[in-house]
Amino acid sequence: MTSYNNKKCIGCGVVLQTTEENHPGFVKNITQDYCLRCFRLMNYNEIIDYDVDPQQFLTQLKNNNNLQHHYFYVLDIYDLPGTRNIALEEIIQHNEITLIINKVDLVNKLINEQKIISYVKNIFSAAIINRNIKNIILVSSLKNYHIEELYQYITQQKKDLYVVGCSNTGKSSILNSLIKLVNNNNKPIVVSNHFGTTLDNIALDFNLPIKIYDTPGVFNTTNLLNYVNKNNYKKLLVNKILRPITFQLNAEQTIFYEGLGSVTYLAGDKTSFHFYKNNNIILHRTKYQNQDQYWQNNLDKLSLQLNNYADIQTTEITISQANNYSLWISGLGWVTFQGSPGQKLLITTNKNIKITLAKRFI
C-alpha cells in the first residue's frame, strides 16, 4: 500500500493510502481528510467492513485493552465453532462480554431460541471468558431480527462498547441495521471527529452517554470462504433459511459438496446423516472407492470449486462414545448424526479448514 507522510483519517485515525480499496485507509485522493470507510458512514450511514491480519489485530487489542471496555463478540450461527477466536477470548477474558449470535434467521424455523441459547452456553461453558459473559443475544441483520431489542440493550449499558469478531460474521451488517433503526427515529449518527485508537476503530455516536466502536474484522484463516474460486464467493454467502438434506449412508459411501470437499462414512452400521449447508451447494453421493474417479470426471464441470487443489487434506474422525453429534466444517455448515463407538468419518477439503465434532446442534 502507498501512503503519504503518514497522513491519518481524522475520523478513525488510520493512515491513508490510495492503492488498495479493500484495505483500511483507502482514499481516491490523498487530499481527502476521511478514509472511504468514514466517508461512507458520514454521508451514507453505511459501515464498510475491512479485514485485518489476526496477529496484528490481537497485538494492538492487547496493548489498548482496558477493563472499562465492554465487548460485543459477534459469532455466526452457520459456523459457531469456526468463528470463535481463542486468542481474542484470552485478551478480553476480564472484560464484560456480550455474545451476539448473528444470522439466526437461517435456523429459527428449525429450532427455538432457548435451545440456541442453551447450545451456545454449552459451547462456552469451559471457555476462559465464560464467567464474564453478561448476556447472549440472537439477531439477524438481514431481516432485522431482534435489532430493536439489541438497541434497547445498548441503551442500558454504562461502558463504551467495542464490536469485535471474525470476518464474514456480519458484524458491520448488524451495525448498519442499528444505524438505520436509529436514523428512522430521527437521531443522526456521526463519526467522532478525533483520532481513533491504533486498532483503526470508528466511534459511532448514537446520542447516548456511551459510544459504540466498530473494529475491523479479524481475518478468519480457518473458513472455507477464503479458499474458494473468487467467482464462487458470493454464491457461498448464506442468506436463506437452511433446508437440511438427509442421506441414509452405509459404510464406505461419500458425499461430495460439489468441488469444495467431501464427507466419507468410512466404517459403521447404516446411519442417517443430516446435512445443514448452503442451499446453493448440490450434494452428490458416490462409493468411497469411486471418489478419485468422481474428481477426475467432474471437477471441471462443477460450478463450485476451490482455488487450489494442491492444499487438499483428509482428516479422520473416530467415534468413541455413543451420542448425538454435529460435525462442523467451517464455511460448509454442519452434519448431524447418531454416533456409536467404532464409526469412522473422513473429511476432505482445504487443509486450513476448521473441523469440529460437538454435541448435536439441530
pLDDT score recorded for residue 232: 85
What is the tens place of the pLDDT at every residue in 184-215?
665 545 444 443 444 567 778 788 899 898 88
% pLDDT > 90, the chain: 58
* Beta strand pairing call for 133-138 and 217-218: unpaired
pLDDT score recorded for residue 196: 40
Q: Which residue has the higher pLDDT, 241 or 296?
A: 241
Highest mean pLDDT among 2-11, 41-50, 239-248, 267-276: 267-276
Highest mean pLDDT among 61-75, 94-108, 139-153: 94-108
Q: Which residue has the higher pLDDT, 37 or 317?
A: 317
pLDDT score recorded for residue 311: 94
Considering the chain, what is the average pLDDT of its residues? 89
pLDDT over 90 at 171, yes or no: no
pLDDT over 70 at 109, yes or no: yes
When pLDDT is cut at 50, 70 and 90, the band that residue 6 belongs to is: confident
pLDDT over 90 at 260, yes or no: yes
When pLDDT is cut at 50, 70 and 90, the band that residue 5 belongs to is: low
- DSSP bridge pairs for 264: 254, 346
pLDDT score recorded for residue 37: 80
pLDDT score recorded for residue 193: 40
What is the tens place of the pLDDT at every residue in 112-159?
999 999 999 999 999 999 999 999 999 998 788 999 999 999 999 999
pLDDT score recorded for residue 192: 46
Among 16-20, 136-140, 339-343, the range scoring the smallest mean pLDDT is 16-20
pLDDT score recorded for residue 200: 66
pLDDT over 70 at 83, yes or no: yes
pLDDT over 50 at 164, yes or no: yes
Among 57-66, 102-111, 132-141, 327-336, the range scoring the smallest mean pLDDT is 57-66
pLDDT over 80 at 46, yes or no: no
What is the tens place of the pLDDT at every residue in 299-336?
888 889 999 999 999 999 999 999 999 999 999 999 99
Among 24-38, 88-102, 125-139, 301-315, the range scoring the smallest mean pLDDT is 24-38
